[in-house]
A and B are shown apart, each in its own frame.
Chain A
């Protein structure tokens, strides 16, 4: 009870300091050459108050204070301690408070780390960030207060959705939020820089590390969500083009494109419009994701509540920010006429620009696939679902030139270049085609497209691999990220080409056998845990080479809420995963058994980590700020 009161008043005070900061920022913007020390103090105070508020909510969850409505709705006394803490952000109200926490943290770090930047720019960035922060404060307090009381106090809570009780999902939201909210700083910063007309090479060097940090966290956040979906949702895939996945992919694509534009802008005063629009788009797409998953306009595990009032608030807030950005862009942005905006056809920036267009195309496909069903339903009451074939057909063919340009682009010089080392480039291309042909020759379906696609991925793979040996530490960050991307595409392709699946219904003691595997349902056993009981199926699986594995998938029946989840058992090796999951066939003795062999799964995760690691190396390189 006490925690809720303190938390609530901290939120109100935080909002008050937001308004105070706007007042002092306006004053400081007009009058001073130095950043008013009060601004830094109040920003710190605002952050401190949000920390207090957040800790109060964590404490309410830890002590199971069911007088708090959020705790009552999302916790239970039997829930393990770790998930009591993770439950703080496993719901709408708590996750928004976490969002607010990261927003205030980022602006504080921004003010501390930008002492060498012009005062007006810092103040104006603070103003735009405070507009976002105040919007979130009002949203939280008005429609989603995490400190609402319940009276009389219930003796027990309703519990956390069991599929959210998972280590990967406990850390997935904070990591993802660091990516999403990091884009808010880029958004505020670009609006400030556009207003002051300082979108220059120097500004690009300064904002690059903020782009990088958001990009790294967003990449890792998406990875964690994907790993969780793989082993928790029980269908054995890691990406299903679900709208909830798409809304995280879209800001990632925009951010990746922005990162490459910033690289160009650092060298040459061009692409300023690209940089501004992409910075705005990244944050707008992050906010759109929040709108889509929180408003109840679509249904998913992230749809914590279907409350139109919340949806309407986010929608109005999002579009207010978009219209503000459009106004600033069209009113203040002046394209410099002193600088040549033409490109020599063979140069690094041309390669970057071409691939940026490809990434914009991928983004458009994902955007249309995600929102088209909503549009169609509103306009013609038709209900459709856009599935993987739509995305595969529209994206895969364009990956081929994209990968080839990714391979050749880094070999080119800025401004004007010649294609050097033609012989080794051609040799590697031939080697890549030959290897792909040997791999794909046994597959009759989509032979041509698979061969070309795998060749392109191998080409990027070999070129980046060679660069590790030839160039050493030169362009290491870019090389690791591009190498990781080639490995990702290869792993996904091999995974989809060589995966196999058996779906059958079995009773205890029965055996399923085909040419690929022999599955014996040996026994079932039970296990009691604190907040659930398990039915464990014990299986012996023998593959075509005679290798035997014991696999034990579970069905978990949670006490509160009383629902069942399927827990896959996965045996991971360097080359493949063996994945088995069971489900109850209602009112029968049979269990539905799904057994999959998934090659190169581990490499999908490793490659994404490598991509982020490339970003991390670039981030740690000195010389951006000073």
Chain B
């Protein structure tokens, strides 16, 4: 009985993890870590200015 309890409980834990990941897939990008903001660049006119 004791020998069967360990594999059964581990299998149960993995089934739970599977269900949570599966549910997570229904709502993609649910977790969004901070990423660098990439700006849409406004058109800028640039000229070289030298300062002494």
Contacts and interface: CB of A to CB of B under 8 A. Distances in A.
A374 B25 contact: no
29 contacts: A233-B36, A234-B36, A242-B33, A243-B31, A291-B21, A298-B32, A299-B35, A306-B29, A312-B22, A319-B18, A323-B11, A323-B14, A326-B11, A326-B14, A374-B30, A377-B27, A378-B20, A378-B27, A378-B30, A379-B20, A383-B31, A385-B31, A523-B51, A524-B48, A525-B46, A555-B41, A563-B40, A583-B39, A587-B42
Contact of A296 (B18, B28, B36, B46): B28
B22 A315 contact: yes
Nearest to A585: B39
A557 interface: yes
Nearest to B37: A583
Contacts of B22: 312, 315
Interface string A512-550: 000000000011111000000001000000000000000
A315 B25 contact: yes
Contacts of B26: 308
Interface string B1-35: 00000110011001000101111111111111111
A509 interface: yes
Contact of A243 (B11, B33, B38, B41): B33
Interface of B: 6-7, 10-11, 14, 18, 20-36, 38-42, 44, 46, 48-51
Nearest to A244: B33
Contacts of B42: 584, 586-587
A565 B26 CA distance: 32
B5 to A, nearest CB: 11
Nearest to A555: B41
Given A383-B30, A383-B31, A524-B46, 8 more contacts: A291-B21, A297-B28, A297-B30, A306-B29, A375-B20, A377-B30, A535-B44, A565-B38
B32 A299 contact: yes
A423 interface: no
Interface residues of A, number: 51
Contact of B34 (A291, A385, A509, A526): A385
A44 interface: no
Given A374-B31, A385-B33, A509-B49, A295 B14 contact: no
A508 interface: yes
B39 A586 contact: yes
Contact of B38 (A379, A563, A586): A563
A379 B6 CA distance: 26
A437 interface: no
Contacts, number: 120
Interface string A215-249: 00000000000000000011100000011100000
Given A298-B33, A374-B31, A584-B39, A326 B7 contact: yes
A373 interface: yes
A322 interface: yes
Contacts of A522: 50-51
Contact of B49 (A375, A523, A557): A523
Contacts of B28: 295-297, 306, 308, 311
A297 B48 contact: no
A330 interface: yes
A301 interface: yes
Given A297-B24, A298-B31, A308-B26, A535 B7 contact: no
Contacts of A587: 42
B46 A535 contact: yes
Interface in A307-341: 308, 311-312, 315, 319, 322-323, 326, 330
Contact of B48 (A374, A378, A523, A586): A523
Interface in A277-297: 291, 295-297
A495 B48 CA distance: 36
Contacts of B33: 242-244, 298-300, 385
B21 A315 contact: yes
A564 interface: yes
B39 to A, nearest CB: 6
Given A375-B20, A564-B39, A296 B29 contact: yes
Contacts of A303: 29
A315 B35 CA distance: 25
B6 to A, nearest CB: 8
B31 A322 contact: no
Which 3 residue pairs across A and B have the least CB separation, nearest first?
A296-B28, A330-B7, A373-B31
Contacts of B27: 377-378
A326 B20 contact: no
A564 B38 contact: yes
Given A297-B21, A535-B46, A235 B30 contact: no
Contact of B29 (A297, A385, A508): A297
A402 to B, nearest CB: 27
Nearest to A386: B33
A301 B25 contact: no
B49 A378 contact: no
Given A509-B49, A564-B38, A312 B25 contact: yes
B14 A319 contact: yes
Contacts of A562: 40-41
A421 to B, nearest CB: 43
A300 B44 CA distance: 29
Interface string A90-110: 000000000000000000000
A243 B20 CA distance: 17
B31 to A, nearest CB: 5
Contacts of B51: 508-509, 522-523
A56 B31 CA distance: 36
A378 to B, nearest CB: 5
Nearest to A566: B36
- Most B CB contacts (10 A, CB to CB) among A308, A378, A526 go to A378
A524 B21 contact: no
